[in-house]
Amino acid sequence: MGPLYKFGWFDFAYSLQLAGLTGFMFGFVLERAGFGNARKLTAIFYLRDFAVLKVMFTAIVVCILGLLYFSVFGWIDLSRVYILPTFIWPQIVGGLVLGIGFVMGGYCPTTSVVATVSGKLDGLVFIGGMILGSFIFGELFPLLEGLYEAGSMGPVRLSDVLHIHSGLVAFFVCLMAVGAYALVERIEQRFGDREALPGGSKRAKRTAAAALVFLGLILAIVNPDRIAAERATVSADETAKTTEALETTAPKPEKPASSRFKIVADEGC
């Protein structure tokens, strides 16, 4: 059951190797999409090319569906996944400033790395700027601490805020994605350069959109939160039973039964 690291499948040193592999795939797909080129990236802000939105939204929808289906099948324990905590004010201000930095510099942090390795000098300069910006933040931190901690809400999810189960949220996100795709394709037809945009048959897009909505609909009916909660109570019972059995049969177990699930603490980003 995942996440493998949280269940002690491998140690820190191996996790770093895995980070290299994950990063390799990450950088590879970003470059494939053309995200090592600032003009390709910023074209979204001039309504010319919506590749950034399509890639981001598709990745998010696929990952949401993947996580929830994995949870339903019992392949991943979502309570062991690190949920990013919400600090509403710094996230709004930081998002606005990051957006300005994006359209000004032409990159976001990861895409600037991809740009640099493909020989773009502006990507390298952007990286230098980011290191400088982090340093400035670090030095000014005493002044910014109030804003940095403002609006703390803890690790809340959309399902907690909207008071609906996460399968239903996933279904709405799928609908929103399909709606957004349809909208941006129309805008691209109007303002974009049709020659430069990657094609794709209309039929394939319709089929994929239908499949997406269907997968979301199943989750909305199945309610992954309830299934995960049920599984959690069952496994808690089992753990209690095993511990009890161990206590009665074995004289003194050297380690408690739960110790094989070693939870490794981590920080976010």
Partner 1 sequence: MNQRYANPYLIGVLLGLVLLFSFYTMGRGVGSSATFSRIAAAGVELAVPGHAQEGHYFSKYLVDRRSPLMDWLVFLTLGAGLGGLFSAFISHRIQGEVVRGPSINISARLCLALAGGVLSGFAARLARGCTSGQALTGASELAFGSWIFMFAIFAGAYATAVFFRKEWL
Minimum distance, C-beta of residue 250 to partner 1, in the bound complex (Å): 31
Minimum distance, C-beta of residue 104 to partner 1, in the bound complex (Å): 4
Interface with partner 1 in residues 195-234 (CB under 8 A):
198-200, 205, 208
Minimum distance, C-beta of residue 36 to partner 1, in the bound complex (Å): 6
* Closest to 47 (Cα-Cα) out of 197, 172, 148: 197
Interface with partner 1 in residues 96-155 (CB under 8 A):
96-123, 125-138, 141-142, 144, 147-148, 153, 155
Interface with partner 1 in residues 8-47 (CB under 8 A):
15-34, 36-40, 42-43, 45-46
Interface with partner 1 in residues 170-199 (CB under 8 A):
170, 181, 198-199
If the CB atoms of residues 2 and 243 are measured against partner 1, the closer one turns out to be: 2
Q: Which amino acid belongs to residue 211?
A: A
Interface with partner 1 in residues 43-82 (CB under 8 A):
43, 45-46, 50-51, 54-64, 66-67, 70, 75-76, 80-82
Q: Please state, as a whole number, how many other Cβ atoms lie within 10 Å of the Cβ of residue 171.
A: 22
| Residue whose entry in the numeric block shows the structure tokens 């993947």 | 66
Q: How far apart are CA 257 and CA 246, in angstroms?
A: 8
Minimum distance, C-beta of residue 90 to partner 1, in the bound complex (Å): 5
If the CB atoms of residues 86 and 239 are measured against partner 1, the closer one turns out to be: 86
DSSP label at 265? P
For position 165 contacting partner 1 by CB under 8 A, the verdict is: no
Q: How far apart are CA 123 and CA 128, in angstroms?
A: 9
* Closest to 220 (Cα-Cα) out of 174, 177, 169, 175: 169
Distances (CA, A) of 139 to 129, 132, 136, 143, 170: 15, 11, 5, 9, 40
